[in-house]
Structure 1
Amino acid sequence: MNATTIIEIVVSVLVITGTLMSLISSLGILRLPDVYNRAHASTKSATLGILSILLAAFFYFLFTHGVSSIRLLLGIAFVFLTAPVSGHIIIRSAHRSKVPLSDTSVQDDLQEYLDSQEAAEDQDRAEPAGDKKPKPGLGTSEA
């Protein structure tokens, strides 16, 4: 077995893994009950699937043609950094818009935090502007 065969096997395994992860992601989007679970499926599985396929393409061109593609590396970094963040922002926006959880959901950890934030905002709005004291550490000096 020579080096080219080993590289082709590694690339094939990465492509098949990426394809299976993308398939799992698409099935999760179709089958899961609410927007939170669907977004989780799409960000986790699709990110791993795309990263595996891009990594396979990078290895293939690097070891068979001797070309290292900066575009593929930038694509890997871009997907790795942006996909989970965008999924998190979508889920948080849905929660703030009061999109209901599915009936099978057991616990909502974010609700307590958002309730305390809303209570603090309501308290800030209720105080008259002249009665507000500056909070320490926010641009005020304490001598």
Structure 2
Amino acid sequence: MIVVEILVSFFLIIGAFFALAGSIGLFRLQDFFTRLHGPTKATTLGVGSMAIASAIYFSFLKEGLSLHEVLITLFLFITAPVSAHFLAKAARHQRLHEDKDHPET
């Protein structure tokens, strides 16, 4: 059981690091398009790692494969990039990149 606990701890630490990095990126980056990278890239990996840790833990606790967390992770990895793509396309359609208030865009 110590190997499972180490593996779960590893995925939780990695997940927490990526979630924190994505949140900081969302807060610190300047414009809309660069802010899309925080939640779609790093936070997706963070939540995915935490869900994998949960799947490992509950699979060994119940002595059966836990498919709920695997389905959540799969759904997250599919929907986050698609929603970010739609947000970027909507922003480009609204000509957000031509904002005169932000010279860096």
Aligned residues: 102
Corresponding position of 1:96: 93
TM-score, normalization by structure 2? 0.89
Higher relative contact order (CA 8 A, sep 6+): 2
Please say if 1:57 is aligned against 2:50. Answer: no
Structure-2 separation of matches of 1:40 and 1:89: 13
Structure number with bigger Rg: 1
Question: Unpaired segments of 5 or more residues in structure 2?
Answer: none
Aligned identity (percent) is: 34
Question: Unpaired segments of 5 or more residues in structure 1?
Answer: 106-143
Write the deviation string for residues 46-89 of structure 1: whole angstroms up to 9, x where unpaired: 11001000000001111233132222111111001001110111
CA contact (8 A) 2:55 2:67 kept: no
Structure-1 separation of matches of 2:61 and 2:67: 16
2:96 partner SS: coil
| One-letter code aligned to 2:34 | N
* Structure whose residues are more often helix by fraction: 2
State the 1:99 CA deviation: 0.5
| One-letter code aligned to 2:9 | S
TM-score, normalization by structure 1? 0.66
